[in-house]
Amino acid sequence: MVFSIFRFAHRQNAEEIARQYGVLNQVQILRLLLTGVVYALALTFLPTWLALVLALCESTAEVAGLKLMRALDPARQPGAYLGTLLSVITTEAAYMTLVALLWQMDDAYAKALATGLAALTMMQLAVLRSVHLPYAQVGLLTTVLIAVVAVVAEWHASLGLGGLAVQLVAVGGAAVFVQMTMQSNHRLHMQMAADRAAAQAADRAKSRFLAQISHELRTPLNAIVGLGHAELAAETQPDRKERMDLIVMSARNLSVLLDDILDLSAIDEGRTPLRPRLTNPAAEITSSVALYRPFFVGAGLDLIVRIDPSLPRSAALDAQRLRQCLTNLLSNALKYTRQGGVTVTAGMAAPGILAIEVADTGRGVPPEEAEHIFEPFRQGHAATSGSGLGLSISRALARVMGGDLQLVSRSRGACFRLTLAISVVPDLPVPQQPSPLPSARFTGARVLIVDDIATNRLVARVQLSVYGLLCDEAADGATALAKIAADPPDIVLLDLAMPGMDGNETLRRLRAMPPPISRLRVVAMTADTTMADMPQRSPLGFDGYLVKPLTPEAVGQLLTDQLGTRLAPSMLP
């Protein structure tokens, strides 16, 4: 058995020992307290000094072994691993010595206590130490050896060999049963670890699949949305304009659905980056509502905004996530309201807590569905189309931002209350919101579009031309660098997923060029929304990002952010 223990131990990996450490560390304080109770009971029968010595040996070995076990890799730290095995042996030896001394006393209560304590240590070996089987086995071996010594030492000739045999068989039977239990529990732990690893691998595969499918779907969507907007703006015939508008709207809805699925995946994986910036909460709320006002007007519905005058004019929050939550709520209200309208109310629920209520006059939410509407892919009414993700994502985002999203009970319609934690900053000026984008503002500005897909370059060219920019193109990083060196543009739109020299490598080489070329404004174009925090993550420093499919609003906002203060004075209005 000893040989099998050490042979088995030699093959163990650090991951299994880390799991064993987690189990023991979780109950360490409780185990030490119970050990103290055991030795306190033993003081009834044993000398105080002896009980204290055994208690000190056991607790010291327990704590030292747990400390050695932390971040232990047996392959690289064989000495430390041997130390953990010795700590288990010492712990069990001290404990079972106490049991043996109690067993040898001529007192029925002492023997009963010894029997219970022996059963207790075998249970803890089978339950708590079986994650890493060698720990349980060396502990069991120590326990059995001391138990056998105690039985033999306590044996009286008057009992005969038969009595001794019965006691030894009892000890052996208990040891066999505990060994079988330890092996069974160990297999269970291994299976659970394997299942967890498989689930994590599947989750990583899902993330890779979503990232890939996002890229593959956004490329054609980019063409549909981008060129569709251009044709829609140029179309004059009402019937054709209506059909083109339907095509563009359907493509944008598909893009929103794709964003929702990716957002849900990111939230589930705990990778939801927040980018709090100083902003005006009232302005963000007003602008979000303004985007939806045409849809409400078209549906014959009222859209009322009531903002408490005491709302801080400047606060640090993630404005993009706030707009995302609010537009999801407005979209939901528009979907379920046929008459009346929607009222948006904003104010401070408490110091540092922004509260926004979106109340509609629609059908409301039945009580039996109130607990389920925040679940992914669940809708309040089965007959209504949609993905059922908006409310789930909004609640998850709100909780990440230190707030919540709740359904407020009311007699008519539905009312959702969104709360967010904000940091009020009264002494700093709030950046001015960009004004509407006149195309003449950027007339004469030059942009280089770098993308290996010709369709994407065409879409970007069409979108940028609306704002009066002069466009040049490059199909790869090397060509782009050559054009930049020969005649630097005002801004570069750089695709990330190009074959050969990708966007990151192209940017690295550009930043290595001499000034002023190295200081060019470079914007990442990506079909992967998981890269939306690229400006924060890239050590090379992208100045911004555009997520495909490109829309006039996104392009216009980017131009204002990037070129509004960077053009030569002659180019500014």
The domain boundary residue, chosen from 378, 394, 424:
424
> Model confidence at 354, in pLDDT bands (50, 70, 90)?
very high
The answer as to whether 377 is a domain residue is yes
> Model confidence at 436, in pLDDT bands (50, 70, 90)?
very low
Q: Are residues 316 and 407 in the same domain?
A: yes
Q: In this predicted structure, what is the pLDDT of residue 388?
A: 57
- Contact indicator for 464, 471 with CB cutoff of 8 Å: yes
pLDDT at residue 379 is higher than 70: no
The domain boundary residue, chosen from 395, 424, 453:
424
The domain boundary residue, chosen from 394, 424, 454:
424
Query: Average pLDDT of the chain?
Result: 82
The answer as to whether 171 is a domain residue is no
The answer as to whether 194 is a domain residue is no
Q: Are residues 263 and 292 in the same domain?
A: no
Q: Are residues 135 and 113 in the same domain?
A: yes
Can you tell me the distance from the alpha carbon of 130 to that of 13, in angstroms, rounded to the nearest whole number?
Answer: 15
Q: Are residues 382 and 447 in the same domain?
A: no
Pairing mode, strands 544-547 and 521-526: parallel
Tally of domains within the chain: 4
Q: Are residues 420 and 479 in the same domain?
A: no
The answer as to whether 83 is a domain residue is yes
Q: Are residues 217 and 285 in the same domain?
A: no
Q: Are residues 139 and 251 in the same domain?
A: no
Q: Are residues 444 and 564 in the same domain?
A: yes
Can you tell me the distance from the alpha carbon of 279 to that of 281, in angstroms, rounded to the nearest whole number?
Answer: 6
Q: Tens of pLDDT along 84-96?
A: 999 999 999 999 9
CA dihedral 536→537→540→542, nearest 10 degrees, is -50
Q: Are residues 150 and 90 in the same domain?
A: yes
CATH number, domain of 322, equals 3.30.565.10
Q: Are residues 415 and 480 in the same domain?
A: no
Burial class (CB in 10 A: 0-12, 13-18, 19+), 554: middle
Q: Tens of pLDDT along 7-18?
A: 555 555 788 999
Can you tell me the distance from the alpha carbon of 212 to that of 163, in angstroms, rounded to the nearest whole number?
Answer: 73
Owning domain of residue 81: 2-154
Q: Are residues 514 and 567 in the same domain?
A: yes
The answer as to whether 178 is a domain residue is no
The answer as to whether 276 is a domain residue is no
CATH number, domain of 549, equals 3.40.50.2300
Q: In this predicted structure, what is the pLDDT of residue 529?
A: 58
The answer as to whether 134 is a domain residue is yes
Q: Are residues 368 and 489 in the same domain?
A: no
The answer as to whether 177 is a domain residue is no
